[in-house]
Structure 1
Amino acid sequence: MKKQYDCHKISGGKVTGQLLFSDDGMCFYLIEPKDGKIIEKEHCLYQKSVAGKILVFPYGKGSSVVQADGMYQLKMTGMNPAAMIVVNADTTLAASAIILDAPMVNKMDDDFYKDFHDGDMVELDADNGILRKI
């Protein structure tokens, strides 16, 4: 396992936290703002909390209003993810992250997806495009 992985900055910031992987796309409007738990019953992370996690997911889903409002509600209650790592960052998702000052990256090294799992502690420096295991 490498000590450092390269990525591409979408929205800046530097955070430390546990990884939480999702095989499903994310609709932030379907996350309960009171506790950060996913309320979408068909989602692979149903009833798991994204609060304070570095959330890894393939893509966002939902309209711009739904995504931005969902992210905003989570941020206002402090139940938002610490950062996001996304495979396919559409314009809506990227703009919402930038507006809400939520660290987000994409274009991760391929090895990242093989080497890391839920619960691994990492430091994500989105400004410099670096992720490190700690």
Structure 2
Amino acid sequence: MIGKNSSFKCHKISEGKTSGEVLFSKDGICFYLIDPESGVVIERNHSLFGKSIANKILVFPNGTGSSVVQADGMYQLKMHNMGPKAMIVENADTTLVASSIIMEIPLVDKVDSNFNEIVKNKDILEVNATEGEIKLVQKGE
């Protein structure tokens, strides 16, 4: 059952509103090491290796890699419709911010501290970056 703690405040970086299944990564993301045609993480030893980020609400600590590979990786994913629907990040760097704005991917940070305790993989979230709010719509499996 979804209770009163199912709404979380956050800080808007790139505006937009979307909903989808959440996918947590304990590792930073290098978008260049994600197959643009499938959205599958191909970086060995990554916590999401072999999993697809396509059309997910991606939660991760930070971006990794140079600005060129990050921006190009995000662009390639966007062109193949395999990018994330939204991103929730702990530490947003300049490249991640600029790329998400250009590619029109909602991006937020500074989420309420209880978010990671309540929300789990496969839960369905509604991310309203424009209003600075995340809602837990449905618990996953």
TM > 0.5: yes
- TM-superposed deviation, 1:96: 1.0
Which of 62, 82, 88 matches 1:85? 88
Letter in 2 for 1:123: E
Q: What is the CA–CA distance in structure 2 between the aligned matches of 1:5 and 1:63, rounded to whole Å?
A: 31
Instruction: With the length of structure 2 as denominator, give the TM-score of the two structures.
Output: 0.93
Report deviation, 1:3.
2.4
Q: Which amino acid aligns with 1:105?
A: V
Separation in 2, partners of 1:3, 1:79:
28
Matched, 1:38 2:56: no
Identity fraction in percent: 55
Deviations 1:40-65 (A, max 9, x none): 01100001000000000000001111
Partner secondary structure for residue 75 of structure 1: helix
Instruction: List structure 1 runs of 4+ shifted beyond 3 angstroms.
Output: none
What is the number of residues matched between the two proteins?
A: 134
Q: Which residue of 2 aligns with 1:117?
A: 120
Are residues 1:48 and 2:51 paired?
A: yes
- C-alpha distance in structure 2 between counterparts of 1:72 and 1:92, whole Å: 12
Alignment partner for residue 26 of structure 2, among 17, 23, 26?
A: 23
The residue correspondences of 1:64-79 to structure 2 (distance < 5 A) are 64-79=67-82
Question: Deviation string for 1:10-32 (max 9, x for gaps)?
Answer: 10110010100000000000000
Give the RMSD, CA atoms, in angstroms. Answer: 0.7
Residue segments in structure 2 that go unaligned for 5+ positions in a row: none
SS of the residue 2:131 aligns to: coil
Q: Which amino acid counterpart does residue 21 of structure 2 have in structure 1?
A: Q
